[in-house]
Amino acid sequence: MESHFERERAFTIKVPQEGDEISLAPMHIQAWKETYIVPESGLTGESIDTMLAHLLADTTYRKNVINESLTSPNVVLYRVVKNGAGEIVGFLHGTKNESYNELEAIYLLNEAKGSGVGGKLMEEFLNWADGDTPCRLEAFAFNDPAIGFYVRYGFKKTDTKLPPYKGLSVIEMVRPVDGG
């Protein structure tokens, strides 16, 4: 049986390379399926395929974001998580603006969850973030595991009313400048 330490070592966090945007689309869709097909969401594999078909059809946006992270790493943070076979099993996307350090996305496939790599991604984001502005993110209201993860890193739910994303209820979470 694999120990926690061995599982953790099986995953590496890397700066994305040209071409990674192709593998990221199906991984992103799979992460949605593994995470969001729960009774509270009402989502199915088919509905997720329909909602996220654009990720497979056009990788230009993600390619541009990755390029921006490589040319302006002080403004855009992008990391990919690879397993021992070199396959992408997760990613992190963060941005900075005048008001917030925005955690745009953090996704892991089930094989990487529980390995400690999610915490390492969050630590990398928080170390990269501008310490003079709060950190902000949006999460699906039904995603209690993710919300609990964010709370462990000092994020708190706000009362801000956000529009639904693809019909799903979204909450805002903010990590104050002092980290707690």
Question: Is 162 a domain residue?
Answer: yes
Question: Is 180 a domain residue?
Answer: no
- Average pLDDT, 10 consecutive residues per value, the chain (180 residues): 49 94 96 95 96 94 96 97 96 96 98 96 97 96 96 97 94 86
Q: Which of 139, 137, 136, 92 is nearest to 112 (CA)?
A: 92
Question: Is 144 a domain residue?
Answer: yes
pTM value is 0.91
Do β-strands 156-157 and 170-175 pair in parallel, antiparallel, or remain unpaired? Answer: antiparallel
pLDDT value, residue 18: 87
pLDDT value, residue 143: 96
- Split into its structural domains, the chain has a count of 1
Question: Is 140 a domain residue?
Answer: yes
Question: Is 10 a domain residue?
Answer: yes
pLDDT value, residue 9: 56
Please report, for the chain, how many H helices and E strands are present, in that order. 7, 7
Q: What is the CATH number of the domain that holds 123?
A: 3.40.630.30
Residue 119: count other Cβ atoms within 10 Å of its Cβ: 13
Are residues 64 and 127 in contact, defined by beta-carbon separation less than 8 angstroms? no
Q: Rounded distance, CA 42 to CA 36, Å? A: 9
Domain that holds residue 163: 4-175
pLDDT value, residue 176: 95
Question: Is 148 a domain residue?
Answer: yes
